[in-house]
A and B are shown apart, each in its own frame.
Chain A
Amino acid sequence: MLSVANLSVSYGAINAVDGVSFAVPAGAIVTLIGGNGAGKTTTLRALSGLLRTRGGSITFDGADLTRLPPHEIVARGLGHVPEGRMIFANLTVDENLAMGAYLQHDRQRIAENRDYVFGIFPRLKERLRQSAGTLSGGEQQMLAIGRALMGSPKFLMLDEPSLGLAPRLVGTIFEKIQEINRSHGLTILLVEQNARLALEVSSHAHVLETGRVVMSGPSAELRADPRLKAAYLGG
């Protein structure tokens, strides 16, 4: 569904992503793992057009996305839940969701998406009129995911959904991510620092280190790999 070939992104003279290639098959959950500064967030931002690429190509559903602006990429069905949630703090929950449907014009579809989001995150329905900045961290993450789902994506990119959440909530959020993948067949590209969890929910994984893919394979195999165990899974 998505294939990335030889992608390079640089901030000035620094190459944050240096020749990264990987593919995400339709219906799968694929994860990118790696430490701080490995280039995970940069890769996602390049995929959704928020950063300009220096080289390489991004193909989605057979179309080249490499030079498109973000709003056209979103229109093609690539949803992005950015790192650190980035909800619109001064808008209400309801308005945040409405903004997520910004490019959707079919009212019926918008209403269906809302019901779908409330089905997954009933908590959001209770907080509709509340200003989003006053939500708890977990609720904000739910809202960020819900907002992306409002745009009817075919492919959802999640950037560090576990960041700053209580351990119990992390479990809940990951269950919801799997539910979204199973019930709607939504393809997911997951970026995580929590490698153990990411490898549990995903089918394939790519390990990034200083802007390059250093290891790839089925998640079950990587979980057992001694090198990965030592570096990311704590023995």
Chain B
Amino acid sequence: MKSLVKKSETLLSVESKIKNPKSKIPGAHVALFAALLMAGGVAFFAGRIDPYHLDVLTNIGINVILAVSLNLVNGHTGQFSLGHAGFMSVGAYLSAAVTLHFVPKLFGEDGGGTLATGALFLAALLTGGLASALAGLLVGIPSLRLRGDYLAIVTLGFGQIIVVMFQNLEPLGGALGLNGIPPYTTVFWVLAFAALTVFTIGCLVRSTYGRGFLAVRDDEVAAAAIGLDTTRYKIVAFVVGAFFAGIAGGLYAHFRLTITPGGFDFTKSIEIVVMVILGGMGNTLGVILAAVLLTLLPEVLRPVAEYRMILYSFLLIMLMLVRPQGLFNFKPGKAKP
């Protein structure tokens, strides 16, 4: 836990390490404010919006958090992780355990006021996020010495281990999972956290400290040769990515109200990786749009019923063939050094 605290100090010092203010995105704070305002607006009119549309919007928000946080690891830092669903499950289980444990004790039968439940939910989400970040640290320290395919396999293994662990943890419901999770997730929470994720990771990679992530991706040897502690960068990326995946997991748990270990298996990890690749590795806007598109696509394809997944897969293949550089990547082709 001590080293985790150290990591968060690293993050806090990021702001003060911004040496070149020109490299900051113009109006990032304005964008965050606008996004939060929008989240508030949508929440305000939530009563008049079709519940189905609200559900889709919630799914989109959760997927944006997952994709943007994985993008920090896979896209910006260039480390191929296949275990994002594993981190998500840590956050989902931990936060659900917190609310399930404390809601009856604190609020009894009446369910508590909006403010009290909101505070408890926030605490539960943060617990889930921090636990997930800790898991990221534990997996990251031994495995981030590996590169490329090897790292992918180790993270894949981690994802599977987590699923099996939750399946066998009886206090957390075992294979049946957790049920009766209070429905705390609203569209406001999800959109607010999505905005916060995009903002935090955007500022992180645009800071001078954060350029190190890109340097590690572009050339690890050169990055080490000019004095970057590359392992530390990879671990920070892993821990921050895992933290937001944990938050997304918590939001997911309090949205679905039932979680089972099977919901966080390998296919979920792949789904997130596909969003990152389709959006264009390291291209935040592209990844957000890809997350939106890939969440909407199965919904739009509902009318074709049993052909849905075939069509979905077919579209994915087509997209990859037509735009291998990422669907929303409009920069000129990357030159190789």
Q: Which residues of A contact B (CB under 8 A)?
A: 48-50, 69-71, 74-75, 79-82, 84-91, 95, 98-100, 102-103, 107, 110, 131-134, 140, 144, 147-148, 150-151
- Provide the residues of chain A in CB contact with B223, threshold 8 Å: 88, 99
With A and B bound together, what is the CA distance between A217 and B327 in angstroms?
59
A151 engages B219 (CB within 8 Å): no
B residues 214-265 near A (Cβ < 8 Å) are: 214-215, 217-219, 221-229
Question: Which residue of chain B has its CB nearest to the CB of A159?
Answer: B225
Q: Is the CB of A74 within 8 A of B226?
A: yes
Whether the pair A48, B225 counts as a contact (CB closer than 8 A) is yes
Count of A-B contacts judged by CB separation below 8 Å: 94
Residues of B within 8 A of A110 (CB): 19
Partner of B335, one of A69, A81, A85, A131: A131
Taken residue by residue from 310 to 337, chain B's Cβ proximity to chain A (1 for < 8 Å, 0 otherwise) reads as 0000000000000000000000101111
Query: Which chain A residue shows the least CB distance to B231?
Result: A69
Task: Verify A99–B225 contact, CB threshold 8 A.
Answer: no
Q: Which residues of B contact A89 (CB under 8 A)?
A: 218-219, 334-337
Contact indicator A50/B221 (Cβ below 8 Å): yes
Q: Assess the B227–A70 pair: CB atoms within 8 A.
A: yes
Q: Mark B178-222, 1 if CB is under 8 A from A, else 0.
A: 000000000000000000000000000000100110110111011
Q: Which residue in chain A gives the minimum CB-CB distance to B217?
A: A90
Contact count band on B: 20 to 34
Contact between chains at A69 and B19 (CB < 8 Å): no
B301 to chain A, nearest CB (A): 35
- Bound-state Cα–Cα, A90 to B77, Å: 12
Evaluate contact between A102 and B334: CB separation under 8 angstroms.
no
A133 to B337, CA, bound (A): 6
- Cross-interface CB contact of B225 among A80, A91, A98, cutoff 8 Å: A80
Given contacts A98-B208, A133-B336, contact A87 B227 (CB under 8 A): no
Interface flag for B23 (CB, 8 Å): yes
A-B contact pairs, 25 of them (CB 8 A): A49-B224, A50-B224, A69-B229, A70-B224, A70-B225, A71-B224, A71-B227, A71-B229, A79-B226, A82-B222, A86-B219, A86-B221, A87-B218, A87-B222, A89-B335, A90-B214, A90-B217, A91-B218, A98-B208, A99-B223, A99-B228, A103-B226, A133-B334, A148-B226, A150-B226
Closest residue to A134 on the B side, CB-wise?
A: B335
A20 to B337, CA, bound (A): 31
Contacts of B23 in A (CB 8 A): 95
Q: B20's closest neighbor in chain A, by CB? A: A98
Contacts of A147 in B (CB 8 A): 226
Residues of A within 8 A of B217 (CB): 90
- The answer to whether A99 touches B229 (Cβ under 8 A) is no
State the Cβ distance, A4 to closest chain B Cβ, in Å. 18
**Nearest-neighbor residue (CB-CB) of A143 within chain B:** B337
In the complex formed, the residue of B with least CB distance to A102 is: B227
**Whole-angstrom distance between the Cβ of A151 and the nearest chain B Cβ:** 6
- The closest CB in chain B to the CB of A131 belongs to B335
- A99, A103, A140 — which one has the most chain B CB atoms within 10 A of its CB? A99
Question: A148: which B residues are within 8 A, CB to CB?
Answer: 225-226
Known: A82-B222, A91-B214, A95-B23. 6 other contacts (CB 8 A): A70-B224, A89-B337, A91-B211, A91-B215, A98-B19, A148-B225
- Pairwise interchain contact A82-B334, C-beta atoms closer than 8 A: no
Given A107-B19, A133-B335, A133-B336, A95 contacting B224 (CB threshold 8 A): no
Task: For the complex formed, measure the closest distance between the CB of B281 and the CB atoms of chain A, giving whole angstroms.
Answer: 10
**Chain B residue nearest in CB terms to A74:** B227
Given contacts A50-B225, A70-B225, A103-B227, contact A88 B334 (CB under 8 A): no
